[in-house]
Structure 1
Amino acid sequence: MMDMHTHILPGVDDGAKTFEEALKMLQLQYEQGIHKVVLTPHVQNKVQRVSSKEYLERFKMFEKDVSNIMPDIKLYLGAEVLYDPFKKTNYDAYIFKGFSKKYLLIEFSTVIEDRIVDVLYDLIAKGYQPIVAHIERYPYLTDDDVLRIKEDGSFIQVNSGAVLGTDGRHYKKRAHHYLKLGLVDFIGSDCHDTKSRKPNVLKALKKAPKNFKMRELEE
């Protein structure tokens, strides 16, 4: 099983602060049967602590150190890109590495009504496979919007914390609504630590509808 939305790469954003904390997060993943983990540090976001240009080198070092301790865990480098309408973004730099498709995890403003449907349509036209991060956080999206996003070809992710209710009642309501409508492709942990935002995909899967099946990324 895979967790495709995590903030485990240490020292780069508001996720894991140290190697030791990151390793504990991976251990929690492994105990839940998750042996594949995509590291998706923030991009174009004020919570970044280092330039995204450093991510690949830091990932290689982290991957090497983890392999000596947890050889059964397979790591991938991705990113969680915050859409910025005023910036020309090189999305090629942020696609998930090690996969056959150009998977791109993208998040949007929770306050300003971004043109989410149009932005995703344009990304698909350019050859990307967008994955909408935590779609339950965008209250300005209607059911028709989400259905259009799905029909156009984007994948949809909800957070495990939303499914479990730890992210808040409104997020839980929307996450379960989209799950019941069959619009969700992934439940991702969006984990940031080992306490309040820890890896918990397996626990969330047990609360999802029985007919929900996690989509698999193509390697």
Structure 2
Amino acid sequence: MIDLHCHVLANIDDGAKSVDEALSLMALAQEQGVTRMVATPHIHLGIYDNDINSISAAYKALSQALVSSNIAIELRAAAEVRISPEIVLFVEQHKLPFIGHYQQKDVLLLELPSSHIPAGTDRLISWLLSKNVLPMIAHPERNRELQNHPHRIKPFVQAGCLFQLTAASLIGDFGSAPQQLSEQFLKERFYSIIASDCHSLKRRPPKIAQAKQLVSSLVDEEYAFALTTEMPRTISNSLFQ
């Protein structure tokens, strides 16, 4: 399996607090059958002011530690980018790392606020697509506006966006509302991938294997394989070549 959304780079956001914790998270992911991971620290202006340089430094530190570990996971780095007007400037200045490439576009892991869909999101997505950037919306099931009005995801589906399901949402770790919405979106086959969005061993460990089993039961094994292996591999292949 391939995990395209995880917070394993140390001391860079609210994820792993040390390289040792990062290695422990990766070891747990490996036990579940994960063979590739793309670390996606937050880029959230005013809270996590990461950029390509800070991400590269943290990635280098973890990569060096991996060499002397027993972990065989291949690792690359990108980012989870909180939606903001500054994204336009960042894209124009080539300052955002992408999680891969799909349908001749760079794939941007785009995070909405947990509370609502900001005004102008549709216009930003249209602009990104015009610049050959394909948004993958992170964990839409955790957005309260979508929980209350699930049909509001339809314009983003119709625009061609990709969608990432967080494994813990489907398992129920974030409560019943995200769980129920993730089940609904799965049955409508809106999701493109499942990712762990893991942050820490105690609070938010990786649980992709468990989520894969649930998708097999809710939908079918073919979709579960597509979400955990086939699509993540297709999207991220350009990073691992």
TM-score by shorter chain over 0.5: yes
- Equivalent position of 2:176 in the other structure: 169
CA distance 1:169–1:62, shift in 2 (3 Å)? same
Q: Following TM superposition, by how much is the alpha carbon of 1:131 offset from its aligned partner in structure 2, in angstroms?
A: 0.7
The answer on 1:108 being equivalent to 2:112 is yes
Alpha-carbon distance between aligned partners in 2 of 1:205 and 1:97, rounded to the nearest angstrom = 21
Deviation string, structure 1 residues 29-75 (Cα, Å, up to 9, x no partner): 10011010010000025552x64331112212321221331462111
1:131 aligns with 2:140: no
Moved more, 63-72 or 35-44: 63-72
For the residue of structure 1 that corresponds to 2:114, the secondary structure is: coil
Please show how residues 127-166 of structure 1 align to structure 2 within 5 Å.
127-141=132-146, 142-166=149-173
With over 3 angstroms needed to count, the CA separation of the structure-2 counterparts of 1:93 and 1:12, relative to structure 1, is: same
Q: Secondary structure at the match of 2:11?
A: coil
**Equivalent position of 1:210 in the other structure:** 219
Q: Identify if the C-alpha distance between structure 1 residues 96 and 83 changes in structure 2 by more than 3 Å, giving closer, same or farther.
A: same
Instruction: Identify unmatched segments of 5+ residues in structure 1.
Output: none
Give 1 or 2: higher helix fraction: 2
Distance in 1, Cα, partners of 2:50 & 2:128: 23
Counterpart-to-counterpart distance in 1, 2:22 and 2:177: 29
Give the conservation status (yes or no) of the 8 Å contact 2:138–2:165.
Answer: yes
Query: Share of identical aligned residues, percent?
Result: 26
Deviates further, 20-29 or 152-161: 152-161
Equivalent residue, structure 1, for 2:202: 195
Change over 3 Å in CA distance of 1:149–1:78 after alignment to 2 = same
- Secondary structure (helix, strand or coil) at the match of 1:81 reads strand
Q: CA deviation at 1:218?
A: 4.5
Aligned AA (1:210): V
In structure 2, the CA distance between the partners of 1:58 and 1:147, relative to structure 1 (3 Å rule), is: same
* Matching residue's letter, 2:219: K
Please give the residue correspondences for 1:60-75 in structure 2 after superposition, counting only pairs within 5 Å: 60-70=60-70, 72-75=72-75
- What one-letter code is carried by the residue in structure 1 that aligns with 2:95? A
Query: CA RMSD, aligned part only?
Result: 2.1
Q: Is the 8 A contact 1:6 1:188 kept in 2?
A: yes
Kindly tell me: are residues 47 and 70 of structure 1, through their superposed partners in 2, closer, same or farther at Cα, counting changes over 3 Å?
farther
Distance 1:191 1:158 in 2: 12
> How many residues are treated as equivalent by the alignment?
218
Partner of 2:14: 14
Q: TM-score, normalised by structure 1?
A: 0.90
Deviation at 1:8, TM superposition (A): 0.4
| C-alpha contact (below 8 Å) 2:8/2:199 kept by paired residues | yes
How far 1:138 moved relative to its partner?
A: 2.0
- Structure 2 stretches of 5 or more lacking a match? none
Work out whether 1:30 is the aligned partner of 2:30: yes
2:38 alignment partner, SS class:
strand
SS at match of 2:144: coil
